[in-house]
Structure 1
Amino acid sequence: MLHAAVLLPFLAAFFIPLIYRGVKQVHLGWVVLVVPIILFGYFLSFINGVLQGVHTLKTFEWIPSLGVNISFYIDGLGLFFALLITGIGSLVVLYSIYYLNKAEKLGHFYVYLLLFMGAMLGVVLSDNLFVLYTFWELTSISSFLLIGYWYQREKSTSGALKSMMITVFGGLAMLGGFLLMADITGTSSIRGIIENAGLIVESPLFPFILVMVLLGAFTKSAQFPFHTWLPDAMEAPTPVSAFLHSATMVKAGIYLVARLSLVFAGTDLFFLIVSGFGLLTLCWGSYMAVRQTDLKAILAYSTISQLGMIMAMLGFGTEIAVLAAVFHILNHATFKGSLFMVAGIIDHETGTRDIRRLGGLFTFMPITATLAFFGTFSMAGFPLPFLNGFLSKEMFFESSLHFEDASTIVEAVSPFFPYLAVGGSIFTFVYSIMLFFRTFTGKQRDKLSKQPHEAPIGMLLSPIVLVLLIIVIAFVPNLFGNALLSPMVDSITGEAITTHIKFWHGLDTIALYMSLAVLILGTAFYLTRTKWARSYDVIPGKLSAATAYDGIINGLINGSKRVTNVYMTGSLRHYMIYILIFFIALVGITLGATGGFKIAFDDLAPIAVPEVLIAIVMAVAAIGTIFMKNRIAAILVLGIVGYGLSLLFVFFRAPDLALTQLIVETVTVALFLLCFYHLPDFSKEKLPKRTNVVNWIISISVGVLVTMIGIASHSTKLFEPISDYFIKNSYKLGGGDNIVNVILVDFRGLDTMLEILVLGLAALGIFTMIKLRPGKKEGND
């Protein structure tokens, strides 16, 4: 059943194109909404079991010979993220029904959305590293499609490409770390790797493994300096931003760090990298958010900042820090999801998201403004008892103060952490207040393309639900803490805890004074923002992660163009020279360095007079083609070599190869004859002496090298030949008398199928190029 739950979004995506044609009168979203609701209800049924310590594991054998099985595992951490994906997913689909017009390509949108939902479920529930990686990359592909949904816009396509480039780069690095972890522990099961965590930590490759895995997590969760893709991804439709960039995809890296904390946590390197980059991301993201004028851009940098805050707490590794991290994951999904939807409502109902043009919207959109109030002030960590953001922010401050049993290096750097936490939170307060007051209060600053008015109730339902969750979580945090957060902390740290979250901790706590400092300094910074805004001309000035990314990509493109222009001369002769020289150098050096050339005369088939005569004829024909001056004669004489080879196959009792060679040679000769007019005229062709010398040297070198390879392949026996296995088992396992056919169809069936697939794709490509060739008239086949 668990496998079916993960598979359900993919199956639904497969049938969406068929359903779309039959529901033209109804918004397709109503049909799609059923899928996340069913999944959310299904995953809710696991809560009681997880609370009692019952973890569910379902395994389907995929590649048992390599120990790679499709195993899905539900514990506190996996269950929480599954509920987050399906719960927020349900609200996003409901929101999209009213946000997206039926004139849009809804079939495409919901296919991509369901693919992403299924991929995310696969990531958070997989117990196998390589299955997790497969779903991980599928999230990159599906998010690329969602970000580029409005592909007519250049910004959408460039944003989608940037997100793909950065996240796939990180994913490939992560795969390298996964391979090393599996090799060291002897298992690709995540649970098995956690049980053998000591082998990884003690390995000399541990620093490399950690960095590779964290590259995958940092790129996916937009940590500095890989955060640049997230603001550009805001060109996606708002439902995509609310789903991918606030609640799910960007938290995949958070999930990965949390899941592997039992492997890496406790080491100084993990602490320094994760906490350091987390705090840097928190401060940089919040600082840059104040600079933005687009609502979604503010929320994008806000998301970067909040992800850095969560990552830092996971890096701290203490019990209170991990609890604060998972609590803030929940809180962030509620207030940031609602704010993205509010931003979409404002754009939908006013025609702009630019806060320089907005203002005074509280009068026209009171419900939207109220929802924004709860979202922004919760994000700011404002000390009100009905805002859940304040609770997790206080826990963050508290966690930055205490590091029990710390090493020397941790003790040396940890005193700076509270100051960084406060600094990042000050700017968080500034952009939160700026977002609300500059949008909903004051006077309208510019004439808008639409007369502002309240959104329809259907569009308001989803953010209303999220805002209600903000309030409910704030009033009864321990209800959620005991049901969801405690099992999560258990999965991350391996220690069961009982949550005790409260609003008031007394006057004698440092965290309270840190919050007061944020409140006072944040207000002062907001009121004086026009005076210190010039600081952005210095930091970052002309330097930014986006500029660095563009410089790297443009440098690679320009560099590749220059290199390509050197060797892409348009001459087939030049291309063949490059290929053959590389072949001679690589294979020749390898044979010489390894002593791979050997000559052995044992186990040779007897050679009779007919074989010798055929070989002589083939050799004479091959040499004769060099001196032919007539094109047709050269083609026919060259054909003698191929047909002679077919006869040799017959004599050596390989009729299948003989038939294949006959067919190939006949087709080749026929094709040469059909295009002989375009071949060079040998009788008139006079090549320079230098060209002839190069041709002779390369030809003789290739001929000698190939001969040596043929001799060495027979003479070198590094292991028992596999032919003995095929001879013994072709009939017994494959049920066929023809060994070659059994090898192709059974023993190498997958290889044969992929070869057929490649040929089919090539045929489709050729057909497409013919149909779309320039100058082709419509209707002319």
Structure 2
Amino acid sequence: MLQFAVLAPFLTALLVPFFFRYIRQVHTGWFVLPVPFLLFIYFLSQMGTVSEGDNILTVVEWVPSLGMNFSFYLDGLSLLFSMLISGIGTLVTLYSIFYLNKNEKLNNFYVFLFIFMGAMLGVVLSDNVYALYLFWELTSLSSFLLIGYWYDREASRYGALKSMIITVLGGLAMLGGFILLSYVAGSTSIREIIGATDVVLESPYFVAILLLILLGAFTKSAQFPFHIWLPDAMEAPTPVSAFLHSATMVKAGIYLTARLFLIFGGTDLFFLLVTGFGLLTLCWGSYMAVRQTDLKAILAFSTISQLGMIMSMLGFGTKAAIFAAIFHIFNHATFKGSLFMVAGIVDHETGTRDIRKLGGLMTLMPISATLAFFGAFSMAGVPLPVFNGFLSKEMFFETSLHIESTSAFVSALTPIIPVLAVLGSIFTFVYSMYFFFQTFAGNTKGDLPVKPHEAPLGMLLSPIVLILFVVVVGLLPNLINHPILTPATAAVFGEAPEKHLKFWHGFEPQLFMSLAVVALGTLFYLTMKKWKVIYNWLPGRMSANKVYDFIYNTQFKIAEKTTNTYMTGSIRHYVMYILIFLVGATGVTLYVTDGFVISTDDLAPISWPEIAVAVVMAIAAFATIVMKNRIAAILVLGVVGFGLSLLFVFFRAPDLALTQLIVETVTVALFLLCFYHLPKLDTEKQSPGARTLNMIISASVGILVTLVAIASHSSKKFETISHYFIEESHHLGGGDNVVNVILVDMRGLDTLFEITVLGLAALGIYAMIRLRKEEEELDS
């Protein structure tokens, strides 16, 4: 059943374009809305099974000989993420129905959205590392399409390209880590790899594996310094931001780190990298959020900071920290998803997201203001029982005080961690207050593009549902403890925690840390105008975006200069480049590997007719060089092909002879058609140097091919496969003509691809002819 759950969004994406044309009068979202809702119901129904420890495994064979299978595994961790993906996916689809106008290209939007949804389900459910990578990169591709949905805007194209470049490069690094990991562990199954943890830890490739996989996780989850793609991704429609950039895609790196915790967790390098970059991301993201003036930009940097906090808790490595991280993953999805939707409502109903123009919306949009209040205060971690964010934030403070390590170096760093946790949380409080009060409190700062008014109920329904989770979980957190949080923590840590969630823990250090955050955060917020000048010095002119732009622009300048150097428009030059590379690469390989061998054993006798045909072929080949007329040269060149057909006949290969005759006849005819329109050979003048170079290249290719042919016959490093074909052609292919059986059965897929390539080439040629004909008609 799991494979159908992953497949369902892809099938939906496939069907959307077909029925879109018939339902333009009704919003497409209504037709696709049942899919994520039914998926959510299915995963919800599995909650009891998983909470009892009965995990579900489904295997669909793909390339079993290479260990590549679509293995889907549902445990506590994958269930949590699957419910977030399908549940928030349902709410986002509902929200988009009222957010996006029917005149938009809705077929594109929902195709991209459901491809992404299926890819995310594939990521969190895959047990095979290569299948996980396939879905991982598919999330990057689909998010690229969603971010660039309004492709007529330069900012959308820029943000889409930046996100794809950074996340895809990180994914390639992760693939390298997966290859090493599967090689060391001897398996491509994540469950089996976890079972071989000792082998992985003792491997000399351990450091490389950890670094490569974390690079993929950090780029996807916007950890410093790879966070720069996330703010630019806010050019996507708000439903995309609420889905991808708060609840799902940006948590893929979090999921990967958590999934492989049983392998890497507990090592000093894992602690230093994950905790260090997590806390750095928390502090920097929260600090930069206060600088922003666009509502979605504030939420983008707030997402970065929250992801850093979750990542750091995974780095702490204790059971309590893992539980807190899992809890905050759930809480963050609820309050941040609702805040993105509220930001979209404000933009939709006022015509702007610029916080400098907003204010006083509380009386004009009271429901939206109420939703923003609960979402922002929960994000800030205000110590009240109606905010679920406070519970996980307090657990973050508690776990930062109780980090366990046997390493003296790590122990020396642990006193700094609570300080950084409080520092990042202070700015989290500031940007939360900044978001809410500057938008909804006070007076309107000026004329707005649209007269503010409350959003329709349909647009409010999705954020209302999320805020209900914020309040209910804040008041009754144990509703999700045993069925969701405990199994997810057990899947990550290997042991189920015995944790009873409650609001009041007494006067513990974490409570005083929370109160300090509120007190200092309030002070910082009230004095913002006085200290915001610090941004002129930090970051000042420094920016990771400038580094990205410099690398990006420099890369394209180099590529442009390089391309202009060899793209001369001359086919002769292109053939020269190809042949020079062929001679160089193959010649060096022969030399380095001692691949050239001459053996006169097992040579068949040569008769005079065969020698005569070979001599005629050689004369014809030489004649093509000295002839001045292209048509005559092509006809003479045909003698070489037809002579080869005769040799096949002499060697008792009539099928090959017939094939060669057909191919040679068609080739000569096509050459005659093409070369008839080219200038005469005698009109093309070449310098002596060019002629010499041509002679050298031609002689080198001829010698190389001769050497390779001799070496391939003389070298017997591997047992020939011809015996297998001869013995199995009748059994496997049902035929005694070995050549035909190889082409049609044993290499049937290869033959099919060849036919497909030829068909595509024919379609391309036909399209170019049609375009040229249409241009000529327009010119006339």
TM-score per shorter chain, which class? over 0.9
CA deviation string 1:8-49 (max 9, x = no partner) = 111122222223233333322122111111111111111111
Rounded Cα–Cα distance in structure 2 between residues aligned with 1:250 and 1:164: 13
Q: Does 2:78 correspond to 1:66?
A: no
In structure 2, what is the equivalent of residue 358 of structure 1? Answer: 358
| Alpha carbons of structure 1 residues 761 and 414: separation in structure 2 relative to 1, 3 Å | farther
The letter for the 2-side match of 1:707 is T
In structure 2, what is the equivalent of residue 173 of structure 1? Answer: 173
Structure 1, gaps ≥5 residues long: none
- Kept after mapping to 1: 8 A contact 2:332/2:379: yes
In structure 2, what is the equivalent of residue 183 of structure 1? Answer: 183
In structure 2, what is the equivalent of residue 6 of structure 1? Answer: 6
The letter for the 2-side match of 1:51 is S
Paired residues for 1:615-630 under 5 Å: 615-630=614-629
In structure 2, what is the equivalent of residue 109 of structure 1? Answer: 109
The letter for the 2-side match of 1:386 is V
Paired residues for 1:548-563 under 5 Å: 548-563=547-562
Rounded Cα–Cα distance in structure 2 between residues aligned with 1:570 and 1:101: 47
Q: Does 2:616 correspond to 1:609?
A: no
In structure 2, what is the equivalent of residue 532 of structure 1? Answer: 531
Rounded Cα–Cα distance in structure 1 between residues aligned with 2:131 and 2:193: 14
Q: Does 2:726 correspond to 1:727?
A: yes
In structure 1, what is the equivalent of residue 228 of structure 2? Answer: 228
3-state DSSP of counterpart to 1:357: coil
Rounded Cα–Cα distance in structure 1 between residues aligned with 2:773 and 2:160: 29
Rounded Cα–Cα distance in structure 2 between residues aligned with 1:152 and 1:777: 30
- Between the two proteins, the alignment pairs up a number of residues equal to 780
Is the deviation greater in 327-336 or in 684-693? 684-693
Identity of matched residues, %:
67
Q: Displacement, 1:645?
A: 1.1
The letter for the 2-side match of 1:385 is P
| Alpha carbons of structure 1 residues 718 and 135: separation in structure 2 relative to 1, 3 Å | same
| Alpha carbons of structure 1 residues 299 and 764: separation in structure 2 relative to 1, 3 Å | farther
The letter for the 2-side match of 1:377 is F
In structure 1, what is the equivalent of residue 340 of structure 2? Answer: 340
Rounded Cα–Cα distance in structure 2 between residues aligned with 1:550 and 1:704: 48
Rounded Cα–Cα distance in structure 2 between residues aligned with 1:527 and 1:256: 39
- Kept after mapping to 2: 8 A contact 1:94/1:462: yes
3-state DSSP of counterpart to 2:57: strand
Rounded Cα–Cα distance in structure 2 between residues aligned with 1:626 and 1:478: 86
| Alpha carbons of structure 1 residues 17 and 566: separation in structure 2 relative to 1, 3 Å | closer
In structure 2, what is the equivalent of residue 516 of structure 1? Answer: 515
In structure 2, what is the equivalent of residue 374 of structure 1? Answer: 374
3-state DSSP of counterpart to 2:204: coil
Rounded Cα–Cα distance in structure 2 between residues aligned with 1:694 and 1:112: 52
Note the aligned Cα RMSD (angstroms).
1.7
| Alpha carbons of structure 1 residues 541 and 314: separation in structure 2 relative to 1, 3 Å | same
- Kept after mapping to 1: 8 A contact 2:85/2:117: yes
Rounded Cα–Cα distance in structure 1 between residues aligned with 2:479 and 2:563: 63
3-state DSSP of counterpart to 1:533: helix
CA deviation string 1:429-487 (max 9, x = no partner) = 11110000000011111211111001111111111111110010011112211111111
In structure 2, what is the equivalent of residue 426 of structure 1? Answer: 426
The letter for the 2-side match of 1:503 is F
Rounded Cα–Cα distance in structure 2 between residues aligned with 1:701 and 1:533: 69
Rounded Cα–Cα distance in structure 2 between residues aligned with 1:779 and 1:564: 32
3-state DSSP of counterpart to 1:721: coil
Superposed structure 1 runs of 4+ greater than 6 Å apart: 777-781
Rounded Cα–Cα distance in structure 2 between residues aligned with 1:253 and 1:571: 47
In structure 2, what is the equivalent of residue 586 of structure 1? Answer: 585
- Kept after mapping to 1: 8 A contact 2:268/2:410: yes
In structure 2, what is the equivalent of residue 239 of structure 1? Answer: 239
Q: Does 2:479 correspond to 1:479?
A: yes
In structure 1, what is the equivalent of residue 564 of structure 2? Answer: 565
In structure 2, what is the equivalent of residue 273 of structure 1? Answer: 273
Rounded Cα–Cα distance in structure 2 between residues aligned with 1:683 and 1:449: 71
In structure 2, what is the equivalent of residue 146 of structure 1? Answer: 146
In structure 2, what is the equivalent of residue 636 of structure 1? Answer: 635
CA deviation string 1:192-232 (max 9, x = no partner) = 00000111111111111111111111111111111111111
3-state DSSP of counterpart to 2:725: helix
- Kept after mapping to 1: 8 A contact 2:220/2:250: yes
Is the deviation greater in 127-136 or in 678-687? 678-687
Q: Displacement, 1:680?
A: 5.2
Is the deviation greater in 43-52 or in 402-411? 402-411
- Kept after mapping to 1: 8 A contact 2:630/2:681: yes
Q: TM-score, normalised by structure 2?
A: 0.97
Rounded Cα–Cα distance in structure 1 between residues aligned with 2:632 and 2:776: 40
3-state DSSP of counterpart to 1:73: strand
3-state DSSP of counterpart to 1:364: coil
Rounded Cα–Cα distance in structure 2 between residues aligned with 1:582 and 1:265: 47
CA deviation string 1:671-709 (max 9, x = no partner) = 333344554544455533322222222221211111000
Paired residues for 1:11-50 under 5 Å: 11-50=11-50
In structure 2, what is the equivalent of residue 665 of structure 1? Answer: 664
Paired residues for 1:309-348 under 5 Å: 309-348=309-348
Paired residues for 1:114-125 under 5 Å: 114-125=114-125
The letter for the 1-side match of 2:155 is K
The letter for the 2-side match of 1:744 is L
- Kept after mapping to 2: 8 A contact 1:176/1:212: yes
The letter for the 2-side match of 1:645 is L
- Kept after mapping to 2: 8 A contact 1:482/1:498: no
Q: Displacement, 1:511?
A: 1.3
- Kept after mapping to 2: 8 A contact 1:611/1:648: yes
In structure 1, what is the equivalent of residue 598 of structure 2? Answer: 599
In structure 2, what is the equivalent of residue 206 of structure 1? Answer: 206
In structure 2, what is the equivalent of residue 93 of structure 1? Answer: 93
- Kept after mapping to 2: 8 A contact 1:478/1:499: no
3-state DSSP of counterpart to 2:415: helix
Is the deviation greater in 271-280 or in 597-606? 597-606
| Alpha carbons of structure 1 residues 684 and 84: separation in structure 2 relative to 1, 3 Å | closer
Is the deviation greater in 274-283 or in 631-640? 631-640
| Alpha carbons of structure 1 residues 57 and 779: separation in structure 2 relative to 1, 3 Å | farther
Q: TM-score, normalised by structure 1?
A: 0.97
In structure 1, what is the equivalent of residue 645 of structure 2? Answer: 646
Is the deviation greater in 342-351 or in 734-743? 734-743
| Alpha carbons of structure 1 residues 170 and 600: separation in structure 2 relative to 1, 3 Å | same
| Alpha carbons of structure 1 residues 25 and 510: separation in structure 2 relative to 1, 3 Å | same
Rounded Cα–Cα distance in structure 2 between residues aligned with 1:779 and 1:110: 37
Rounded Cα–Cα distance in structure 2 between residues aligned with 1:230 and 1:70: 30
Rounded Cα–Cα distance in structure 1 between residues aligned with 2:778 and 2:285: 55
Q: Displacement, 1:108?
A: 1.6
3-state DSSP of counterpart to 1:362: coil
| Alpha carbons of structure 1 residues 778 and 220: separation in structure 2 relative to 1, 3 Å | farther
Rounded Cα–Cα distance in structure 1 between residues aligned with 2:405 and 2:726: 65
3-state DSSP of counterpart to 1:270: helix
3-state DSSP of counterpart to 2:498: coil
In structure 2, what is the equivalent of residue 770 of structure 1? Answer: 769
Is the deviation greater in 17-26 or in 268-277? 17-26
Rounded Cα–Cα distance in structure 1 between residues aligned with 2:748 and 2:531: 68
| Alpha carbons of structure 1 residues 21 and 778: separation in structure 2 relative to 1, 3 Å | farther
3-state DSSP of counterpart to 1:274: helix
Q: Does 2:778 correspond to 1:745?
A: no
| Alpha carbons of structure 1 residues 223 and 734: separation in structure 2 relative to 1, 3 Å | same
| Alpha carbons of structure 1 residues 525 and 767: separation in structure 2 relative to 1, 3 Å | farther
Q: Displacement, 1:757?
A: 2.8
CA deviation string 1:528-570 (max 9, x = no partner) = 2222222222222222122111111111100111222222233
Structure 2, gaps ≥5 residues long: none
| Alpha carbons of structure 1 residues 154 and 667: separation in structure 2 relative to 1, 3 Å | same
Rounded Cα–Cα distance in structure 2 between residues aligned with 1:443 and 1:188: 60
Q: Displacement, 1:661?
A: 2.4
In structure 2, what is the equivalent of residue 574 of structure 1? Answer: 573
In structure 2, what is the equivalent of residue 447 of structure 1? Answer: 447
- Kept after mapping to 2: 8 A contact 1:147/1:156: yes
The letter for the 2-side match of 1:35 is V
| Alpha carbons of structure 1 residues 467 and 766: separation in structure 2 relative to 1, 3 Å | same
| Alpha carbons of structure 1 residues 680 and 604: separation in structure 2 relative to 1, 3 Å | farther
Q: Displacement, 1:779?
A: 9.2
